[in-house]
Amino acid sequence: MADIVVRDKLFIGGRWVEPSGSDTIEVISPVTEQVVGRVPHATPADVDKAVAAAREAFDHGPWPRMTLAERIEVVTRIKDALAARHRELAELVTLQNGSPVRFAVPGQALSAVAILGTTLVAAAHFQEEDERQGTGGPVLVRREPVGVVAAITPWNVPQFTIASKLAPALLAGCTVVLKPSPETPLDALWLAELCAEAGLPEGVLSVLPADRETGAHLVSHPGVDKVAFTGSVGAGKAIMTAAAQNLTRVSLELGGKSAAIVLDDADLSVAVRSVVAGTCGANSGQACVALTRVLVPSSRYDEVAGALTAAFAALPVGDPSDPDTVVGPMVTQKQQQRNLECIRIGQEEGAKVLTGGGVPESRATGWFVEPTLFGEVTNDMRIAREEIFGPVVCLIRYETEDEAIALANDSDFGLSGAVFSADVERATEVARQVRTGTITVNGFRLDLAAPFGGYKNSGIGREFGPEGLAAYFEYKAVNLPAPPKA
């Protein structure tokens, strides 16, 4: 992929068409800072065309009228094509956002395949209608597709987040207008080709790379029935406000500031390995589920701090195409500068940099940040409150188990988390008390067969598994005549 990847058309309603405008999006490598791709910039006029095509396909086309089994066949072909070309997909994502290839293969490409797979399993067991006894007679409860879906996805795990919306929407019988992030449009247009080859009917999918202005036109469009968004809290609030004007349904997967609670009897090797995997090892820290607050008992603070400092300092930082690299660049220079600014703020607040804290000396080019571990952090500091979205982690002391739970819950977010203990029952009981959508005992895991989403500012709704599929249906009650009395 040494040559620049160029697309000169948009995918609207299942066809490659000329864009309405002349502007383009240049994809910049976060490693070389050079242009590696160029695609058309979709305009509001392109949005209107895409929504019209999606509306026509939903209201009059075959897709929502096919049987669920028929839709399963098409989505299975998409999944199989994605699986066959997963290495190509991983390399394309790495080219755009600098995701280390050791993460990109499982976390960017194969995870998208897995989401399609688990959603297909959920669909195979899904009942589109069932009859139940109501208070006045039998009731037929139907589940019908919600309609035209606007899917808006971020740059950090683009195919993962596309799959989390596209798979359930398609299987439900919806039509989709997808707006990928302008930082990572190449893989979305690549996926459009696969969907067309798999036999997705015309009108069912459009892909419109664009900025927020075009995205705002999409989410406020009266022809859209549901908005599915992954991204920042600020953007999520703006989307919810815009969608409210039309009472458009929304599902929002937003940010996190997740806590890893290390209990006093925890196996330190397990905790350290999981924290590294759940922070710097998770897309160079650019993950909403990252375990960025590590809560440590005072009795073991020095031990944990020493072990994590050594682990962070030893992490290979560099070229994401190198399979040995664990930490690659931030996706943009703006994101790099945000990380460095947060590190500066943390030091001003009185936190202590145990390792890292700047730009690696060996990386004069590219938007890199050293894996950074802060000690002596208190939960009221900005670095403990705000999502930094990079390889920056805070160590916070606690005295009692109840205090650890209170600290974990003292956050505007509630997306992920972990609890470490030699006693699984004890850790599970602590996990029950943490207000977060996903939490792992003695590890770091996002299970694609289980519901995923957040409490508080981490969002609204759930993705993955049966719950994620159900989010793309409306429920209809058909009241049937009561049987004649004997």
Amino acid found at 358: G
Q: Which residues are catalytic?
A: 253, 288
Which class for 341: exposed (0-12), middle (13-18), buried (19 or more C-beta within 10 A)?
exposed
Tokens read off for 292 = 């960025």
- Pairing state between β 15-17 and 24-28: unpaired
What gap in Å lies between CA 244 and CA 388, rounded to an integer?
29
Beta-carbon contacts of 104 under 8 Å, excluding residues fewer than 6 positions away, are: 90, 91, 93, 94, 320
| Cα separation, 265 vs 436, whole angstroms | 23
Q: Nearest-CA neighbor of 254 among 269, 233, 272? A: 233
3-state SS of 126-148?
Answer: CCCEEEEECCCCEEEEEEEECCE
Distance CA 202, CA 198 (A): 12
d(CA 165, CA 374): 36
CA distance 21 to 291: 42
CA 389, 312, 366, 185: dihedral to nearest 10 degrees? Answer: -40
Q: At 240, which amino acid appears?
A: M
DSSP conformation class of 398: E
> Residue 140 pairs with which residues in a beta bridge?
131, 478
State both tokens at 223: 């022809």
458: tokens are 């981490």
Q: How far is CA 445 from the centre of its chain?
A: 14
The helices-and-strands tally (H runs, E runs) of the chain is 16, 23
Q: Which residues, at least 6 apart from 426, have a Cβ–Cβ distance to it below 8 Å?
A: 263, 265
Residue 157 near residue 107, CB atoms below 8 Å: yes
Residue 28: Cβ within 10 Å count: 18
Whole-angstrom distance, CA of residue 53 vs CA of residue 55: 5
Surface-to-core class of residue 331, CB atoms within 10 Å of its CB (0-12 exposed, 13-18 middle, 19+ buried): buried
For residue 344, what is the enclosing H or E element?
Answer: helix 333-349
The rounded distance, in Å, linking the Cα atoms of 464 and 282 is: 19
